């Protein structure tokens, strides 16, 4: 065989960024290598703004490898390709024909050939190569037709240290390499929203650690299991994922006994944020992340968000702020957290929820209620001290 199967990986935004570019590329390469280390005999290399995965084996196990690469953030496209070291134009034509035959035999299609000659020492020019390959395919495949304006398939030929031929790009998630934009602490409940919020920030390069507030016996062991499973699901994108499980019952009861019911949710949120901030500092995070979506419930009106926000000094990122529930659900499905999130469980906030929570709370009144709650500081300190760590790694 003059060629072998490989995978070509295209990355997006990082190629645009001047100074950070090299660092980002290195980081992404390291992440891909680590994620693929579970497979034997795979080599990942970088060449001119692309990564290539080669296999020692005769056949490339696309079925197992593609889904793993697909979940690496910062990649925009993945292309199964054929690579060859035979540099004669005849060999390139034959490689291209083989590749097209595998995917398009038996059905009519239009195509064009696009050649990139990164290695300028190659004796033919890009257009000459495209013309030669195009003609070879036209002659070799009865149902093929050239259409340079609106082809069904664009066959790409890349002349580099090796030569690569590919036709289909599987669009992947995009974003920035994980960990290239600092660190954040995600408030991860078992709901639909917060895992999506965590994913979106991870996609912008934020290294995410999470905290879940657990209130036994009001929330069950199954609720905790569910959040652990969500952490696992997110680790498919982030690699390693750390989850703090904070015992929240005492803090919750402390507030429940002392504050007006219509302010309870807001005060619970403030307590969660305060605990999250302490853990965030410990984890050297620069921000907090929540799944709030403006207007979704009483505690997510802009007035409520404002009344909650002053509990902490760290910025709170709310990537779902402007999204509709339906959009959030679609994304949750796409990242495979939805089925976990909809398992039945009790939310610690819904058990302690008031019939008529305030929708336009006054910040000063909420803060005053918090100041008057006796034993709150101690409860918060104990909650932090009692946090359990759960780790997941994809
Ligand atoms: P979600 O679907 O993420 O649970 P939600 O629509 O149920 O969100 P709320 O219960 O008001 O809305 O929670 C808003 C945000 O507060 C959540 O997205 C999450 O970031 C945080 N949060 C709420 N409850 C918890 C909890 N028990 N542990 C950790 N974070 C929580
Ligand atoms: Mg919730």
> Could you give the C-alpha distances from 165 to 21, 96, 169, in angstroms and in order?
26, 6, 12
The preferred substitution site among 246, 272, 291 for testing ligand 1, maximizing ligand atoms within 8 Å of CB, is: 291
Q: What is the SS3 string spanning 194-244?
A: HHHHHHHHHHCCCEEEEEEEECCCCCCHHHHHHHHHHHHHHHHHHCEEEEE
Q: Which domains does the chain have, with CATH numbers?
A: 4-171 (3.30.2130.30), 183-393 (3.40.50.620)
Q: Which ligand is nearest to the CA of 383?
A: 1
List, in sequence order, every residue forming a beta bridge with 145; answer none if it has no partner.
Answer: 110
301 Cβ below 6 A of ligand 1: no
Of the chain, the end-to-end C-alpha distance in Å amounts to 35
67 CA to centre of ligand 1 in angstroms: 29
Which secondary structure element, helix H or strand E, spans residue 55, and what is its range? strand 50-55
272 CA to centre of ligand 1 in angstroms: 10
List, in sequence order, every residue forming a beta bridge with 242; answer none if it has no partner.
Answer: 391
What token pair was written down for 128? 């000459």
194 CA to centre of ligand 1 in angstroms: 6
Global pTM reads 0.93
214 CA to centre of ligand 2 in angstroms: 12
Give CA–CA dist 113/135, Å, rounded.
10
34 CA to centre of ligand 1 in angstroms: 32
CB atoms < 10 A from the CB of 67, how many? 10
What token pair was written down for 95? 């490689």
Q: What is the pLDDT of residues 57-112, one digit of tens each?
A: 888 999 999 999 999 999 999 999 999 999 999 999 999 999 999 888 888 999 99
304 Cβ below 6 A of ligand 1: no
Could you give the 3-state DSSP secondary structure of residue 299? helix
pLDDT recorded at residue 150: 95
Which residue's alpha carbon is nearest to atom 10 within ligand 1?
349
Do 245 and 212 contact (CB within 8 A), yes or no? yes
Check whether the bond before 217 is cis (ω within 30° of 0): yes
What token pair was written down for 366? 């909420």
**Among the residues of the chain, which ranges form H helices?**
21-35, 62-70, 89-104, 126-140, 193-203, 221-238, 249-258, 261-282, 302-309, 325-334, 338-341, 348-351, 363-372, 376-385
Q: What is the pLDDT of residues 115-136, one digit of tens each?
A: 999 878 899 999 999 999 999 9
191 Cβ below 6 A of ligand 1: yes
Positive or negative torsion for Cα 291, 296, 299, 300: positive
Q: Which ligand is nearest to the CA of 186?
A: 1
The preferred substitution site among 184, 185, 186, 187 for testing ligand 1, maximizing ligand atoms within 8 Å of CB, is: 187
Could you give the 3-state DSSP secondary structure of residue 8? strand
180 Cβ below 6 A of ligand 1: no
Q: Which ligand is nearest to the CA of 349?
A: 1
Do 65 and 78 contact (CB within 8 A), yes or no? no
Q: Which ligand is nearest to the CA of 189?
A: 1
Of 239, 224, 195, nearest to 390 (Cα)? Answer: 224
DSSP state of 294: T
pLDDT recorded at residue 237: 97
Could you give the 3-state DSSP secondary structure of residue 155? strand
Do 78 and 118 contact (CB within 8 A), yes or no? no
Q: What is the pLDDT of residues 224-277, one digit of tens each?
A: 999 999 999 999 999 999 999 999 999 999 999 999 999 999 999 999 999 999
Q: Out of 27-41, 318-332, 335-349, which region has the weakest mean confidence (pLDDT)?
A: 335-349
Do 75 and 28 contact (CB within 8 A), yes or no? yes
The preferred substitution site among 191, 280, 340 for testing ligand 1, maximizing ligand atoms within 8 Å of CB, is: 191
pLDDT recorded at residue 59: 87
Q: Out of 91-100, 298-307, 354-363, 378-387, which region has the weakest mean confidence (pLDDT)?
A: 354-363
Which residue's alpha carbon is nearest to atom 11 within ligand 1?
299
**Among the residues of 84-191, which ranges form H helices?**
89-104, 126-140
239 CA to centre of ligand 1 in angstroms: 23
Average pLDDT over residues 352-374: 88
349 Cβ below 6 A of ligand 1: yes
277 CA to centre of ligand 2 in angstroms: 19
325 CA to centre of ligand 1 in angstroms: 14
The DSSP-derived string for 352-384 is T--SS--SS--HHHHHHHHHH-TTHHHHHHHHH
């Amino acid at each position: 065989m003059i060629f072998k199967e490989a995978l070509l990986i295209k990355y997006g935004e990082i190629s645009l960024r001047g100074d950070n570019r090299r660092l980002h590329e290195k980081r992404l390469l390291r992440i891909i290598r680590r994620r693929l280390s579970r497979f034997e005999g795979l080599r990942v290399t970088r060449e001119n703004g692309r990564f290539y995965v080669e296999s020692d084996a005769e056949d490339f196990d696309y079925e197992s490898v593609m889904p793993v690469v697909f979940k690496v953030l910062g990649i925009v496209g993945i292309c199964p390709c054929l690579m060859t070291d035979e540099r004669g134009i005849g060999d390139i034509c034959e490689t291209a024909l083989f590749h097209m035959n595998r995917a398009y035999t038996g059905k009519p299609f239009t195509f064009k050939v696009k050649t990139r000659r990164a290695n300028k020492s190659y004796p033919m020019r890009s257009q000459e190569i495209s013309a030669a390959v195009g003609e070879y395919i036209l002659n070799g495949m009865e149902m093929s037709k050239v259409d340079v304006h609106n082809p069904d398939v664009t066959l790409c030929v890349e002349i580099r240290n090796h030569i690569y031929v590919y036709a289909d790009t599987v669009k992947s998630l995009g974003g920035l390499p994980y960990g290239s934009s600092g660190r954040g602490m995600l408030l991860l409940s078992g709901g639909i929203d917060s895992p999506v919020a965590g994913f979106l920030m991870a996609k912008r390069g934020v290294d995410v650690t999470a905290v879940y507030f657990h209130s036994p016996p009001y929330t069950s062991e199954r609720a905790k299991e569910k959040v652990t499973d969500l952490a696992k699901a997110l680790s498919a994108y982030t690699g390693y994922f750390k989850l703090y499980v904070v015992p929240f019952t005492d803090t919750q009861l402390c507030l429940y006994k002392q504050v007006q019911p219509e302010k309870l949710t807001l005060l619970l949120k403030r307590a969660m944020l305060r605990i999250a901030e302490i853990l965030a500092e410990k984890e050297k995070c620069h921000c907090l992340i929540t799944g709030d979506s403006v207007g979704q419930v009483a505690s997510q009106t802009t007035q409520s968000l404002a009344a909650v926000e002053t509990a902490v000094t760290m910025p709170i990122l709310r990537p779902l702020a402007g999204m509709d529930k339906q959009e959030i659900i679609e994304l949750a499905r796409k990242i495979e957290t939805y089925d976990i999130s909809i398992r039945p469980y009790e939310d610690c906030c819904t058990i302690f929820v008031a019939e008529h929570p305030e929708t336009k709370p006054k910040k000063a009144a909420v803060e005053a209620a918090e100041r008057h709650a006796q034993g709150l500081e101690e409860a918060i300190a104990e909650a932090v001290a009692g946090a359990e760590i759960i780790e997941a790694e994809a």
